[in-house]
Structure 1
Amino acid sequence: MKKDYPVPAGYLERETEIKKSRFIARIAPVASRDEVKTWLEKAHQDHPDARHICWAYQIGRPGSAAEAAMNDDGEPSGTAGKPILSVIQHKDMGDVLVMVIRYFGGIKLGAGGLVRAYAGAAESVLSEVGRVFHKPVRPVNVVMGFADEQPLRHWCDVNSVELGAVTYGASVTARVLVPEDQADAFSAFCDAHKLDYSFET
């Protein structure tokens, strides 16, 4: 069974100043490239005058991420996105985006100074953000009679399982997001109540 893995509990922002340059680091939980794009657009709206908005993200399980990317946004190659991503990977956190917004202060930092500055900015938010554990879930489609809906809702409430869309027609159809470690218990509940269910693959 897959183990849970930590993801950021929410959004956090921290600011540092190095040789008159401002580095504003932001961290946010992300589950898709579209969410990454939305957060980056917001950073550009909030800081239209910033010289650089560099970033890196990792989606999926730390150590075997489904997707990861980085961007130096005009800084010398390898001095911004890569150190941000390195810190993310070192922190063993998944589904995470770190953006570092830089206002240039007039003093050049050099390649080594930039690497340290961006890594330090990423560290400032990654070390302070809360962590929550992402439980892998398996969506299940359940078809049942109207009388079976209340017992299903009760089971979901008692077991803290998310009940998704419910549609009504000749019968009731529900989509349930069952954590992997509760899949067997959910199957047993459905079998006991003679519910027609199928796990999405």
Structure 2
Amino acid sequence: MAEYPIPKSAVIFEEEIKKSRFITYLQHTEGLSEARAFWEKIKLTHPQARHHCWATVAGNPEDSLQFGFSDDGEPAGTAGKPMLNALQGSGVGEISAVIVRYFGGVLLGTGGLVRAYNSGVQQALKLLETEIKIERIAFRLDCDYGQWGWVQLLCEKYQIAILSQDFQVQIHLMLGISEKMIEPFSLELTEKSAGKLMLQPLEEGE
């Protein structure tokens, strides 16, 4: 999946279930380290809460290596996994959910906990605004000043992000191109430049 929705802004949803207070936080987080930092931030915000349960789809929603969750002291399988299931069901990527629970003295039972944590994320997702992220692959392109005008127009035509530009003897460009645009862009680039301009894949570490 080269395109998928990501959160546009943060969401907070609060409800009370059998005297326990549940506060759900949703936020855009890119990568597991950002997701864990968000979790730690919420824990510091609510130091008196009994539980700070967490789940994340920290990258492409189809990339299971970017999934994570924690029950944070709730019975195993009753919090983090139901929260993750709700996030996965939404199809949204680069998203984290933290649910803070202030215990009200009434036990909910395992079924009640699963419903509460899954529902908290589901309710928060209804309030979430999203935008589409297009995954792009980075390429280098060197062109002459006389070619710069039509190269810019070509980038606009194929929705290519110009990540950096360096004006030296030639113009050195770093381009971000979505997978489906690589072939048509390359073909038109070759055609317009009579075979003189070629996309260069970035070497590892560049």
TM-score (normalizing by structure 2): 0.83
3-state SS in 2 of match to 1:160:
coil
In the aligned structure 2, how far is the partner of 1:67 from the partner of 1:189?
A: 36
Matches within 5 A, 1:69-80: 69-80=68-79
Q: How far 1:14 sits from its partner (Å)?
A: 1.0
Counterpart in the other structure of 2:137: 138
Structure 1, unaligned stretches of length 5 or more? none
1:117 aligns with 2:116: yes
The correspondence for 1:195, drawn from 180, 197, 201, is 197
**Contact map agreement 1:140 1:175 (CA 8 A) in 2:** yes
**Contact map agreement 2:158 2:185 (CA 8 A) in 1:** no
Counterpart in the other structure of 1:129: 128
In the aligned structure 2, how far is the partner of 1:109 from the partner of 1:53?
A: 16
- 153 and 3 in structure 1: CA distance in 2 versus 1, 3 angstrom threshold: closer
Q: How far 1:72 sits from its partner (Å)?
A: 0.9
Matches within 5 A, 1:1-201: 2=1, 4-191=3-190, 192-193=192-193, 194-200=196-202
**Contact map agreement 1:65 1:94 (CA 8 A) in 2:** no
In the aligned structure 2, how far is the partner of 1:72 from the partner of 1:22?
A: 16
In the aligned structure 2, how far is the partner of 1:172 from the partner of 1:63?
A: 37
- 189 and 45 in structure 1: CA distance in 2 versus 1, 3 angstrom threshold: farther
**Contact map agreement 2:55 2:67 (CA 8 A) in 1:** yes
**Contact map agreement 1:55 1:100 (CA 8 A) in 2:** yes
Q: Which amino acid aligns with 1:119?
A: N
In the aligned structure 1, how far is the partner of 2:161 from the partner of 2:100?
A: 36
3-state SS in 2 of match to 1:74:
coil
Q: How far 1:22 sits from its partner (Å)?
A: 1.5
**Contact map agreement 1:57 1:98 (CA 8 A) in 2:** yes
**Contact map agreement 2:162 2:173 (CA 8 A) in 1:** yes
CA RMSD of the aligned region, Å? 2.3
Deviations 1:107-158 (A, max 9, x none): 2222222111111111111233133333332211111223333433333334
Q: How many residues align?
A: 200
3-state SS in 2 of match to 1:127:
helix
3-state SS in 1 of match to 2:73:
coil
Deviations 1:158-182 (A, max 9, x none): 4432110222333221111111222
Q: Which amino acid aligns with 1:28?
A: Q
